[in-house]
Structure 1
C-alpha cells in the first residue's frame, strides 16, 4: 500500500476547489486500485421511487463510475429490505432502470442472508411467505431449500383451512399437490411482504401451534422443546412507494401476527429478525463488500475502505449504519420527512438526494490526511 498524491482535476460543482490530499488508495499486484471509500445504498427512496428512477441517482452513479476528482471507480453495493424476487432478476431490472450494469453480487435483498442458514433446512420442509404466487418458493429453491411450501399450497390441499379466499386460476397453477398431514414443517421464513395477511397469519399459527403438522392438534406450551423457527427478513414498519404516503411493510405484518398469537396463547412468539438495521445483516453486507472488493482487486484486501451508507429511513438505514460504525447519510427523497422533526437516529450528514450524498462523502474523504 502507498500514498497517492492527488493532482488537480475538474471538480463536481459542490466540491471545493482547493488542492487536497487523498487519504490513501490501495494498489494491488494486478495494477488495480481501490479508493478510500465505498458505498452501500438503499434502493427504494434513494435510487428509485416506486418504478421510477430518481434523477439524481444516475448522476450519482456516474460519479462512482469515475466522473469524480479522484479519477477512480468507487465500488458500491445495494442493501435493501425489499425482495420477493431472485437477485439475478433484480439486477437485470435495476440495470435497465439505473442505466448502469449491476451485478447480482452487488445486491443484498432482505432475504439474501438466508443463503447463510440454508444448510440447517436444506432437506427439511419449510413454509415460505410473501410475494406473488410461488415466486418466493422459487427463490428459496435457488438458495438450496429443497422442500419449500407456500400457504397457497395449503389452500389447494384444504380450501377450508381459510374459506375466505378462493384461489385464482393463476394461483392454483402455482401450487404443489401436498398432503400436509404427512409433512412436518420445520421453519417459517417470511421472505417478503405477504399479499394475504389473514391467510398467512392463520396458516403460520397452525404450523406453530400444532408443532409443524398443519391440521394437527394444538399444543400450546410456554416454552416448547423444539419450537418451529420463525424468521422475518424485513423489520420495516413503513416503506416509500410512488404513493403520496408511506405504505405498511413486513414489520407491520410481524406486529399483526404477534398480536394475534399473544391474544390466543398469552405471549408473543419468539422469532429471528434479519434485515436493516440488524447487526447480522450489516455483518453480512460487510462480508459481501469485502468479497466484491477482492474480486475487483484480484487479491486480498488488507484494509477495508470506509463504508458510507446512504438511505432514506432513519429506523433502518441510519440506525444500522450507526451500529456498524459506518458514516451514515440520510436523504430527503424517501421515508424521512424533514417537516416532521429531526430523525429518530442521527445521521452523519443529511443530504437533499443521493447525488449530494455521494459528493459530500467524496469531499470528506479527500480532506482526510
Structure 2
C-alpha cells in the first residue's frame, strides 16, 4: 500500500502502476505512485487551456495530457514547426531516425496554432535527450515571452520535476541529471539576459514530495477504513503513522529530503548507487545504512513484525 516515489522517465502514473503490478505480482493503483512530475497536476487550473511545452524523454506530453492539460505539446513536436530553429538538426541522424519517428504520431492539440500562439508555461517532465537543441529552443521561448522568432517579452514560467544534479546509471561513474540541465540552461540564460532565470523545482529533496506521499497514504487508509465499515468489518485503523520509510541511494536527494520532511520519516541509505562509502554520509547521514535494497526491506519487515 506504500506509495512509490520515483523521478520517473516521463511515464504516466497509470503506466508505471501497470509495470509495477507485473513486476511485483500485486495490484498497484496509479494513486499509489508518486513521481517527480506528479505535482504538475496542481497546475491544471492555471494552464488547462493554455499552450504549454513538455520537455524530456519518454512521453512528456502524454503525462501532462493525463493530468488534464488540453493544449500541451512535446518540445520535439514543437521544434519541428520552426524551420532551422536547431541549426545542427541536419547533422543529427540519430534524431531523425529515432526521435522524430517516435513523435510523428503526436497530434497537435485542437485549436492550437504553434506559429502564432504564445507558450504560457514550460514543464520539464523528465531528463531531456538533446540538451543542445532543447536549451536553444527553451531560450527562444523564454526570451520572447513564448513565441520563438518574435521580439523579446516577459519570461513564461518554467517548472522542473526534480533537481537531481547526478544519478547512478549503468555506467560506473555518476551521470548528469535534470539539475545539471537546469544549471546549464540557467547559466546561458543569465549570460544573455539582464534578468536571472525564474524557475521552480519539485522532486526530492523538496519536503513537499514526502508530505504528498504521506497525504496519499492517509487517503488510502481512509478508503480502507470506509470499505471495512461498509462490509461490516470492525478494524481499528489509524490515519497517522509512527514510521514511514525512505529507501534511497543518493544522500543529497533521498536522505536530505527525508531529513527535511522530519517525523514520521525514517531514512535508509543503500550502497547501490551514488553512495558507495563506508559508514554513513558525513553531510546527510541516514537513520540506517545498508548494502542493498533487500537489506533495507529485511530490516523494515523485522522491525514492523517484532
TM > 0.5 fold call = yes
Q: 1:122 to 1:218 in 2, by over 3 A?
A: same
1:161 is displaced (CA, Å) by: 0.9
Q: Is the 8 A contact 1:83 1:109 kept in 2?
A: no
1:318 is displaced (CA, Å) by: 0.6
Q: 1:266 to 1:83 in 2, by over 3 A?
A: same
In structure 2, the residue corresponding to 1:235 is in which secondary structure? coil
- Distance in 2 (CA, whole Å) between partners of 1:332 and 1:269 is 36
- Distance in 1 (CA, whole Å) between partners of 2:150 and 2:10 is 30
- Distance in 1 (CA, whole Å) between partners of 2:102 and 2:29 is 31
Which of 27, 47, 51 is the matching residue for 1:125?
51
RMSD: 2.3
The aligned residue for residue 166 of structure 2 is 238
Q: 1:260 to 1:150 in 2, by over 3 A?
A: same
1:83 and 2:9 aligned: yes
Q: Is the 8 A contact 1:130 1:136 kept in 2?
A: yes
Q: 1:90 to 1:158 in 2, by over 3 A?
A: same
Structure 1 residue runs of 5 or longer lacking an equivalent are: 1-74
- Distance in 2 (CA, whole Å) between partners of 1:366 and 1:156 is 56
- Distance in 1 (CA, whole Å) between partners of 2:145 and 2:279 is 45
Q: Is the 8 A contact 1:129 1:190 kept in 2?
A: yes
Which of 72, 75, 78 is the matching residue for 1:151?
75
Counterparts of 1:132-281 in structure 2, within 5 Å, are: 132=58, 135-166=59-90, 167-168=96-97, 170-171=101-102, 173-176=104-107, 179-219=113-153, 224=154, 227-266=155-194, 268-281=196-209
How many residues align structurally? Answer: 285
Higher relative contact order (CA closer than 8 Å, sequence separation 6+)? 1
1:83 is displaced (CA, Å) by: 3.2
- Distance in 2 (CA, whole Å) between partners of 1:176 and 1:362 is 47
Q: 1:209 to 1:293 in 2, by over 3 A?
A: same
1:179 is displaced (CA, Å) by: 4.0
In structure 2, the residue corresponding to 1:257 is in which secondary structure? helix
The aligned residue for residue 261 of structure 2 is 324
1:259 is displaced (CA, Å) by: 1.1
Question: TM-score, normalised on structure 2?
Answer: 0.85
Q: Is the 8 A contact 1:151 1:199 kept in 2?
A: no
Q: Is the 8 A contact 2:280 2:286 kept in 1?
A: no
Which structure has more helix as a fraction of its residues? 2
1:339 is displaced (CA, Å) by: 5.4
Structure 2 residue runs of 5 or longer lacking an equivalent are: 91-95, 228-236
Question: TM-score, normalised on structure 1?
Answer: 0.71
Q: 1:274 to 1:265 in 2, by over 3 A?
A: same
The aligned residue for residue 286 of structure 1 is 214
1:363 is displaced (CA, Å) by: 4.3
- Distance in 1 (CA, whole Å) between partners of 2:216 and 2:186 is 32
- Distance in 2 (CA, whole Å) between partners of 1:361 and 1:338 is 22
The aligned residue for residue 303 of structure 1 is 240
